[in-house]
Amino acid sequence: MEQKPEAQAGTSNSVPAPSSEKVAFKGGILGIKAGMTQVFTDEGDSVAVTVIDLRPTWITQVKTQAKNGYQAIQVGMLEKKAKAATKAEQGHAKAVSKSGFYHYQEFRLADEEKLDGLTVGKILSPEFLKPGDFVDLTAMSKGKGFQGGMKRYHMSGGHKTHGASVSHRQLGSIGNRADPGRCFKNKKMGGHMGHEQVTIQNLRVVRVDAENQLLLVHGSVPGPKNGIVTIRHAVKGAE
């Protein structure tokens, strides 16, 4: 009786594991805000920096003008375990031999830009960043919940003496007379504050630690610790 050959490690419909080759993409890279510290220059000056952890960011999909109507690369970061990912997520991340990612994001490319080297399975590299470069950082700001006008818009509030009872932090008059008899749209009042996309421009790169995958920038970065930050070359340049 003829003996069947032993089954290979991967099934017939499995995708070969891609190489972990890194590619420098000038369009940007993702990182995690790790906190703040200080470093010293060669002259002995102390510089306050924000540390950004450049976690592995995989190219999960390449979109082309012919197929999708625009050029872009989709990247995934923060790998999921298989038990935490749906079947659809597992199927989408199968091309990079992963179970899924907690964060997906696209980087658009101009129509004339080439997709040379940008293939599914490669990891974005921070090689396009050098100390002294200026970058724009985009992240979700800290959520503050519902806040009043004094905190949200720095209003002065009411009188604190002379019979001003329980009106110290009130806004005061917000409307008009019987005509128009309403409060105009976009009136500055209390409401939801924070948790919106914020971009800080022209932060200087102090150090790029390729071995530990850390990026140090001079200045503050929007969002809380462990928040996802998008790093791009400065659009306006240094001022």
* Sequence ranges of the domains in the chain: 22-129+207-221
Mean pLDDT of 83-97: 90
Residue 18, pLDDT score:
46
What residues contact 116, with CB distance under 8 A and at least 6 apart?
A: none
Residue 239 has pLDDT above 60, yes or no: no
SS3 66: helix
Residue 6, pLDDT score:
47
Residue 12, pLDDT score:
39
Please indicate, yes or no, whether the overall pTM of this predicted structure exceeds 0.85.
Answer: no
Mean pLDDT of 182-195: 93
Question: Which of the pair, 238 or 226, is modelled with greater confidence?
Answer: 226
What does the block give as tokens for 141?
A: 């700001």
Residue 126 has pLDDT above 80, yes or no: yes
- The predicted-structure confidence for 152-181, as pLDDT tens digits, reads as follows 999 988 888 888 888 888 888 888 888 888
- Measured CA to CA, the distance from residue 195 to residue 142 in angstroms comes to 5
Residue 128, pLDDT score:
87
Average per-residue pLDDT for the chain? 86
Distance of CA 58 to CAs 19, 36, 53, 78, 163, Å? 11, 26, 15, 10, 63
Q: Is 22-129+207-221 CATH 3.10.50.40?
A: no
| pLDDT classification of 215: cutoffs 50, 70, 90 | very high
